Structure 1
């Protein structure tokens, strides 16, 4: 597929995302005020949280979404210029003296923006079924602008996007949020291009991320236009490109993925990205992850996102201690 055809297809996907968001009633959801002063990060209980959590009276019915802008903006230290991230806090995070919760960092697709609407709707639905429990989610920008594709790596062309996600965002989360510190409680996740980056970074740093979620994500950076990524991001260096791919990163960290989980989903009518998530699942399974793939029946690329979120995060909840095994 040519680059121009890919861009046209992707732009149509972006427009469809917006239309679908209107249909499910999440576009235009008002931002909440900025977060209250942060709690210190605290270690979680040795028992799964679902076993110890007693919802207090007055538990909110839904979580809140906050745009992280101005003084709340997550700083980028290595030249990458992201658009504002957003923060989803579930009902359990909004009560007095909330428990430390798992953390998810989520990315949307390209072209696109870091829209938190889909994630917030999915987490509210899951929290309603689990007494207000859900992860805290940072929805962050891995692109820099609608049409850029930094390909999940630091580069001269786009700046330090990998540093932003693997250093800057984690540091901000530790200092601003009441989150569980264990890698088992931290998940890197995304849709389409964002799912590809989640795969990449989850394999690159097993000491940071214990979980990967990829919904209709790529199996490596630039699968639809590799020549463009090779030239723009890697300055024509094929060996550098190959070394940055998820399979290579999995090999570099062989033996370090015990207890890690990788969850994938794609629409069963989205042949290209279904093949991509199956390839991704092979990489993670061979690396030692507990891996599962969900086929979303009757859905194409964009339409797979809402149900893909429900399926993958429903399966993730027991891993995070938010639900009993089989109860996600």
Structure 2
């Protein structure tokens, strides 16, 4: 039977019940048998909450601008609902019996909780309560323990695939391992997360392909471990392929949750050099991997997808493949003018030299391949995704287009990445 921990927090009864409960709680909090309440308190509270939420939205979207796209309307609505509930509960503290005041506070907290549930359902970050609880667990293994030096390596004859010579060992582990480890370099990156599939723990050890994976912005590498469910999905793939799956290194291209150095070498940092030079060098030195460029893929979601396209054209000798999950048309801090000013001191020619869409227009990449995944309901990026796909196709890349019935959310990111695994494993020469 399905565990309650595995019930969906994205679809079905839980998010629906949270919305209904919030509506009922707000209705209760808004109604009182008091003329002053209806003529003064309630109108003032509602007007103040509207002003505060709209003001904060304006500041975030137009002054602070921590990310290029505006706040989704659903976040503004739920923020207003939560603030209104808390304000109404506070107004009720002035009168009434103690248990009525406590009940009002609990209802307000319930509305705030419903807002969190609805926000999660919108972005699809945590598909179940088990995924939420995994944030607080520590299932990682020290990399020195998970990846000791190999005592033997599987040799693959010319013209063969790894699957042709790979035999499932009797002592194959049921699951892979995940480790948190710093990757030093020219960029002040946060620690990366490394997934090693079950086959990596065997002797002799196969040389496996590599995915360097990037989160969106705002974001953190661990978001792919928690919300992205990398371990669960790759373990599931490995079980169907005798322990074989890619090595995944979730690297940090941001430096901080709300930072956006644009994956360039610029005034904002040397994110490009870090991903194109330092991270691959560390992986090849520390892990047993297939070092052919055809076996290396750069992948990411949202800003990480934009970065993936950048690395595919800026470092094609390193990354032969890319998986871009809802990329932007070009790296951006909101506008071309803001981007050029912050990163290149206003020198637009410097931006054009490294902007992937401009590079694709003047160079060809017949030895590169990629997948561009877009959400059908992604009003912000779907058109941009299609333009990036067309530019890659015209530049000679072997590129695939996938459109999923989702928005710009983790549902698309998870399905897009793991739906691309068969293509990736065949492309990298592991399976036929």
Verify: 1:53 aligned to 2:166, yes or no: yes
Instruction: Determine which of 178, 193, 200 is the counterpart of 1:65.
Output: 178
Greater shift, 137-146 or 21-30, is seen at 21-30
Alpha-carbon distance in structure 2 between the residues aligned to 1:153 and 1:207: 17
TM-superposed CA distance for 1:314, in Å, is 2.7
Residues 43 and 180 in structure 1, CA contact (< 8 A), matched pair in contact too: no
**1:168-187 map, 5 Å:** 168-187=278-297
Alpha-carbon distance in structure 2 between the residues aligned to 1:150 and 1:43: 41
Alpha-carbon distance in structure 2 between the residues aligned to 1:21 and 1:85: 24
- Which residue matches 1:75? 184
Instruction: Determine which of 291, 307, 320 is the counterpart of 1:197.
Output: 307
Residues 153 and 204 in structure 2, CA contact (< 8 A), matched pair in contact too: no
Other structure's SS at 2:190 match: coil
Residues 41 and 177 in structure 1, CA contact (< 8 A), matched pair in contact too: no
Closer, same or farther in 2 for the Cα pair 1:29/1:9, shift >3 Å? farther
- Which residue matches 1:97? 204
Closer, same or farther in 2 for the Cα pair 1:303/1:102, shift >3 Å? same
Gaps of 5+ in 1: none
- Which residue matches 1:232? 342
Greater shift, 208-217 or 295-304, is seen at 295-304
Alpha-carbon distance in structure 1 between the residues aligned to 2:237 and 2:381: 25
- Which residue matches 1:322? 430
- Which residue matches 2:140? 31
TM-superposed CA distance for 1:41, in Å, is 9.0
- Which residue matches 2:374? 266
Residues 10 and 111 in structure 1, CA contact (< 8 A), matched pair in contact too: no
Greater shift, 23-32 or 310-319, is seen at 23-32
The two structures have a TM-score, normalised by structure 2, of 0.67
**1:153-302 map, 5 Å:** 153-156=264-267, 158-222=268-332, 224-251=334-361, 253-254=363-364, 256-258=365-367, 260-302=368-410
Other structure's SS at 1:165 match: helix
Alpha-carbon distance in structure 2 between the residues aligned to 1:216 and 1:231: 25
TM-superposed CA distance for 1:6, in Å, is 3.0
**1:92-171 map, 5 Å:** 92-115=199-222, 116-117=224-225, 118=228, 119-156=230-267, 158-171=268-281
Alpha-carbon distance in structure 1 between the residues aligned to 2:366 and 2:253: 24
Cα RMSD (Å) of the superposition? 2.7
Closer, same or farther in 2 for the Cα pair 1:172/1:306, shift >3 Å? same
Alpha-carbon distance in structure 1 between the residues aligned to 2:156 and 2:363: 27
TM-superposed CA distance for 1:187, in Å, is 0.7
Closer, same or farther in 2 for the Cα pair 1:292/1:194, shift >3 Å? same
Structure exhibiting the larger radius of gyration computed from Cα positions: 2
The two structures have a TM-score, normalised by structure 1, of 0.86
Q: CA offsets, 1:150-194, max 9 Å, x none? A: 1110112x3211111111011111111111111100111111111
Residues 312 and 321 in structure 2, CA contact (< 8 A), matched pair in contact too: yes
Q: CA offsets, 1:202-252, max 9 Å, x none? A: 111221111011111223101744333222112222121222211223355
Alpha-carbon distance in structure 1 between the residues aligned to 2:211 and 2:199: 15
Gaps of 5+ in 2: 1-60, 76-118
Other structure's SS at 1:81 match: coil
